[in-house]
Amino acid sequence: MTGPITGAAKGRRRRAASRGELELWHAAMRDARPLRHRPPRPAAPDPVAVAEPASEAPLPPRARRKTVVAPAPIALPALADRNAPGLDRASAERLKRGKYAIDDRLDLHGMTQEVAHRALESFILAATRRGLRCVIVITGKGLRGIAEGAADLGILRNAVPRWLNESNLRGKILAFTTAQPRDGGGGALYVLLRRAR
């Protein structure tokens, strides 16, 4: 940080990221690529969760060292893979390549998590009732947060796959996958809905 510290920033301390936040960060950044025409930044060491010893009694200097816990790998759902139940290889490939016609879209930009969650649920249920086949959900990539150095990047981008896997929606969805760049890339998802029977 350059320049003097202003009054608002003086008293503020940065909090350590929680294990869940670190897992979401790693998941969000797993497919990130450097921008063209810019030299790549030096790789920063992986962030780690730090736990302080809980003892109140003073500890000898060696025992005062912080315990470092590496974050566990996150397992986000990969429903558009070839193992998705009810999804054949050709359909999975077609979805991945963005070859299905987009019947409707939902843009979650600017929504809080609570509002976005309700909007997504209503949208998927309504799309199913209307007999739609493929829809797109736009979450955004959280680029503004990256530029500002925020720790909670792409909240909706990481939350929407979990919400799509919740029991009230999972039965309506055959598969979903990251959209092609022309449709929003990492900031959007193609959602293939089950056919009504």
Give tens-digit pLDDT for 150-197.
444 688 888 999 999 998 998 899 999 999 999 999 899 999 998 876
Question: Is the separation of the CB atoms in 147 and 100 below 8 Å?
Answer: no
Per-residue confidence (pLDDT) for residue 121, from 0 to 100: 96
Both tokens of 11, joined, read 């008293």
Give the other-Cβ count within 10 Å of 88's Cβ: 10
Cα(124)–Cα(137) distance, rounded to whole angstroms? 10
Q: Does the domain spanning 89-193 belong to CATH 3.30.70.360?
A: no
pTM of the model: 0.56
For residue 50, what pLDDT band results from cuts at 50, 70 and 90? very low
Residues of the chain with CATH 3.30.1370.110: 89-193
Give the model's pLDDT for residue 25. 73
pLDDT by residue (tens digit) across 125-151? 999 999 999 999 999 887 554 544 444
Measured CA to CA, the distance from residue 20 to residue 162 in angstroms comes to: 13
Burial class (CB in 10 A: 0-12, 13-18, 19+), 94: middle
